[in-house]
Amino acid sequence: MMNPTTPRPPRAERHARPGRMLRTTLAAGLGLLAALWGPTHAPASAQSGSEYDQPTAQLPGGVSNRDDAAVNRVAVLVNDKPITLYDISQRLRLLLATTGGVENEDQLRVLRRRVVQTLIDDKLKLNEARELDFLDQFPEEAFEQQFARQAARFNATPEQFEQVLVQVGSSREAMMEQIKAQFVWDQLVRARYGNRAAVGGDEVDAYLERLKASAGMYEYRLAEIQLLVQDPRDRPRIRSTAAQLVNQIQAGELDFATAAIQFSQSTTAANGGNLGWIPQDQLRPAWAEVVPQMEPDTIAGPVATPGAFFILQLQDRRRILSADPLDAQLDLARALTSFDETTTQEQVERIVETLNKELDGFGGCDDLPSIAQRAGLDQVFEPSAIPLRSLRKGIRDRVKDLDVGQATRPMVGNDGIMVMAVCGKSAPEVQMPAFDEIRNRMEGERLAAFARRYIRDLKRDAVIDYRVPKDQLF
């Protein structure tokens, strides 16, 4: 399985408000949050009042979600196991709540298709586990723990999480069904294919030799959004949808990771589309024409391939086994204050003016607490080691050229004012990846390949009967 993306600080103009994160999460219907230095923007569509993010939105099959008899209609039979319109609406609302609304009917159609296909996969996964007497190996407490972990991702207790699920028109049961299917499937794949996925020491050594041979070559940290073209007649419409997503992401209306979770039909969707580091000579042919021309923190697309359109995000790039200035470690101290509804422009200007005067005589990190106090910054954080690479570009550009003992000028955003000081700096080093790190990654990639093949075979052998026409479902 892929590792979670290393959390990155928010944009320079956004700062955390203590005590605000949980309220923001619940109010936004489980909006995705940055994990390191505070909340990010929820997608604009989540607050837009669009007809596609309202509780009374039209459901698959052309029925209102207020029509109880209609929503219990069977939409799909998977080996005689029913998926109802109610199941689809619950999962659809759950996905909308965790990622924000959609902008138009084309995006809703993509989202519905993904929900239906995921529900079909989940039925097949749980049915396979039952037939192998594998499901009974896990007590209900195991799933409750997974539910609690999911709640913790959104800074909520399980009870608060359940309340929010109800508020957004979904339910605890819908979330538990999704959790159960994924948890049991992961364990089943590992139990069935773990030995075959094992990586030997000679394979790791061979990988390291290939890595050494590629020294100096660029590698790229990429994320993807994949929109499949299953019918050539749909190609213009899907390209148009991809172009709309590109425009929304570039305009700041939609976060890339959120869009990937919501719309991507790749196996990387659940991880925000993250692909990790890919050497230049391993890029897909269509990507190899685009990616080397991109700058970090930019997106490109739609990139056309015979069976899909891709939107690509270049998160970072570096040269293999070469020292990179972005690999330097900085010990950064921070002082900040958050705005509230009573903050005036006059107060902001006064704080900035005081800070600028005080920082003219900045003598080092020991001065930061007293400067913060005199200027009215009420939060001071001790120095912590942060890789320069992990900082957002806006912050990185402000600190990368500072010497130890220097500070930034005030950074003013919509939420507050922040000053950062460099208290220490270590030079970048060339490091070979650890043996166990390589082996774990290779085994994870093999298990993921086995899992894709496994679910493909289950689908091939399954009897899937659509009781609602596909053109109404999708």
- Residue that is last in its domain, among 320, 345, 370: 320
Are 126 and 249 found together in one domain? no
Residue 16 in any domain: the answer is no
The residue-averaged pLDDT of 121-131 equals 94
Are 145 and 30 found together in one domain? yes
Residue 413 in any domain: the answer is yes
CA neighbor of 81 nearest in space, from 46, 112, 41, 122 = 122
Distance CA 46, CA 95 (A): 12
Residue 417 in any domain: the answer is yes
Distance CA 383, CA 405 (A): 12
Q: Which of 48-57, 155-164, 423-432 has the lowest mean pLDDT?
A: 48-57
Are 178 and 286 found together in one domain? no
| DSSP per residue, 376-389 | T--EEEEEEEEEGG
Crossing angle (nearest 10°) for helices 435-461 and 105-131 = 90
Q: Residue 239 belongs to what H/E stretch?
A: helix 235-250
Residue 138 in any domain: the answer is yes
Contact 406/422 with Cβ under 8 angstroms?
yes
Residue 62 in this model has a pLDDT that exceeds 60? no
Are 82 and 67 found together in one domain? yes
Residue 13 in any domain: the answer is no
Residue 241 in any domain: the answer is yes
Residue 210 in any domain: the answer is no
Are 160 and 235 found together in one domain? no
CATH of the domain at 316: 3.10.50.40
- Residue that is last in its domain, among 320, 340, 367: 320
Token pair for residue 357? 């005067």
The residue-averaged pLDDT of 177-192 equals 91
The residue-averaged pLDDT of 265-278 equals 85
Any idea what DSSP says for residue 366? Answer: G
Q: Sorting pLDDT into bands at 50, 70 and 90, what band is 101?
A: low
How many CB atoms lie under 10 A from the CB of residue 190?
A: 16
The residue-averaged pLDDT of 62-88 equals 75
What pLDDT digit, counting tens, does each position of 378-423 carry? 899 999 888 888 888 788 889 988 999 999 999 998 888 999 999 9
Are 221 and 88 found together in one domain? no
What pLDDT digit, counting tens, does each position of 436-466 carry? 989 998 998 899 889 989 999 999 999 999 9
What pLDDT digit, counting tens, does each position of 295-335 carry? 888 999 899 999 899 999 999 888 888 877 888 889 999 99
Are 37 and 148 found together in one domain? yes
Contact 303/312 with Cβ under 8 angstroms?
yes
SS3 at position 444: helix
Any idea what DSSP says for residue 129? Answer: H
pLDDT of residue 42: 30
Which residue range forms the structural domain that includes residue 402? 325-426
Handedness of CA 17, 18, 20, 22 (dihedral sign): positive
User: Could you give the C-alpha distances from 421 to 35, 335, 393, 410, in angstroms and in order?
Assistant: 21, 9, 17, 11
Global pTM exceeds 0.75? no
Are 262 and 376 found together in one domain? no
Count of the separate structural domains present in the chain: 3
Are 302 and 341 found together in one domain? no
The residue-averaged pLDDT of 338-346 equals 88
pLDDT of residue 37: 24
Are 32 and 176 found together in one domain? yes
